[in-house]
């Protein structure tokens, strides 16, 4: 068997599996007779470890392995289980999503959650888009707007992570996310004081969160890094959507895709709004947007800290959040 993990520097967050573990996981999922031909780590993402597995059949499969529980922060605990719970609610985009072939959360083989999924067609959008001139990217962002709108049309009965915890009020789900993020930052040796300050401000302005009464489904991580596109079409065409491990019930305006689409106005990203539609334009909505930006920037701080050599992004996040707190 060809076994090819990504070579990583000591201290990196993502940790490999062994060749023996890879074989055992394949046999657990597909039968004791299975002998994988190749297990190749892809190196995508910064949280789960992702492998392309050739089982000697017509089409390879994908193996995704979560971090050990002891390495999962309070803000990102059991994300793979959250993804597994969210799949039935993402039915409106089921044709674009990978299908789960097997999942194992027992820790019998390895002390980490893992699952096997079908391999999506296409190439990662960050790579595929580079083949098109930037002015031709607008159709891609229109498709992103359509996909996001379909997800946000799904209604829930409470707020919070799909797998829980859940809350009756949006204000409580939001402030809980900030509290978890602040604790995660502090556990990582970073200052989470500005995030705690934002949580206190959100409690002070709780009435603007109470305007959100209907939970809607949020993908939580939908942007170019988690989208596949066709490598040979006249315009960028989305063929797949993956990594819904941050799916939650909340205010659509709080979703990661909305945050990303709102950046760089006046560029091809504006095409997102052609199909998604417009967001509420009220003083309360504008204030909520600032709070949501704080959560996103703080989450990026934690991710940048995990990536060795990204201290500039960590430091810039403090300045950005301080400016947002000033606007509140």
Whether the per-residue pLDDT at 309 is higher than 70: the answer is no
CATH number attached to the domain at 123-327 = 3.90.1200.10
Domain ranges of the chain: 2-118, 123-327
* The pLDDT of residue 115 is above 80: yes
Nearest one of 149, 174, 143, 145 to 249, comparing CA atoms:
174
Contact between residue 89 and residue 217 where contact means Cβ atoms under 8 Å apart = yes
pLDDT tens, residue by residue, 218-260 = 999 999 999 999 998 999 999 999 999 999 999 999 999 999 9
- What pLDDT score does 310 carry? 67
Per-residue HEC secondary structure of 197-263 comes to HHHHHHHHCHHHHCCCCCCEEECCCCCHHHEEECCCCCCCCEEEECCCCCCEEECHHHCHHHHHHCC
Per-residue model confidence (pLDDT) at position 312: 84
Name the CATH code of domain 2-118 (choices 3.30.1490.100, 3.30.70.260, 3.40.50.11720, 3.30.200.20): 3.30.200.20
Q: Cα(316)–Cα(297) distance, rounded to whole angstroms?
A: 10
Cα separation, 151 vs 83, in Å, equals: 14
Closest CA to 88 of 247, 255, 197, 220: 247
Q: Say if residue 165 is preceded by a cis peptide, omega within 30 of 0.
A: yes
List beta partners, residue 228.
124, 240
At residue 306 the predicted structure's pLDDT band, cuts being 50, 70 and 90, is confident
2-118 and 123-327 in the same fold: no
CA torsion through residues 245, 250, 252, 254, sign: negative
């Amino acid at each position: 068997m060809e076994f090819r993990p990504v070579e990583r520097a000591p201290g990196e967050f993502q940790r490999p599996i062994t060749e023996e573990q890879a074989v055992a996981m394949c046999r657990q999922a597909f039968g004791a007779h299975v002998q994988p031909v190749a297990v190749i780590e892809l190196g995508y993402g910064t949280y789960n470890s992702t492998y392309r597995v050739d089982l000697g059949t017509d089409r390879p499969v994908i193996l995704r392995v979560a971090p050990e529980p002891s390495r999962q922060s309070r803000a990102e605990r059991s994300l793979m289980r959250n993804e597994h719970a969210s799949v039935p609610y993402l039915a409106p985009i089921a044709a674009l999503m990978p299908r789960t072939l097997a999942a194992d959360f027992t820790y019998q083989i390895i002390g980490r959650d893992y699952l096997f999924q079908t391999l999506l067609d296409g190439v990662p959008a960050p790579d595929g888009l580079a083949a098109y001139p930037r002015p031709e990217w607008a159709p891609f962002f229109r498709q992103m707007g359509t996909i996001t709108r379909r997800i946000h049309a799904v209604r829930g009965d409470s707020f919070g992570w799909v797998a829980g915890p859940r809350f009756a009020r949006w204000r409580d789900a939001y402030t809980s996310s900030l509290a978890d993020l602040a604790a995660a930052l502090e556990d990582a040796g970073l200052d989470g004081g500005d995030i705690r300050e934002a949580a206190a401000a959100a409690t002070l302005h709780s009435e603007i969160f109470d305007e959100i009464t209907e939970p809607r489904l949020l993908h939580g991580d939908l942007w170019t890094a988690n989208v596949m596109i066709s490598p040979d079409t006249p315009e960028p065409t989305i063929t797949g959507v993956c990594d819904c491990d941050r799916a939650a019930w909340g205010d659509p305006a709080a979703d990661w895709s909305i945050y990303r689409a709102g950046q760089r106005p006046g560029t091809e990203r504006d095409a997102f709004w052609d199909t998604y539609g417009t967001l509420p334009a009220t003083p309360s909505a504008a204030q909520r947007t600032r709070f949501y930006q704080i959560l996103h920037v703080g989450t990026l701080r934690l991710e940048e800290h995990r990536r060795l050599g990204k201290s500039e992004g960590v430091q810039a996040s403090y300045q950005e959040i301080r400016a947002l707190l000033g606007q509140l």
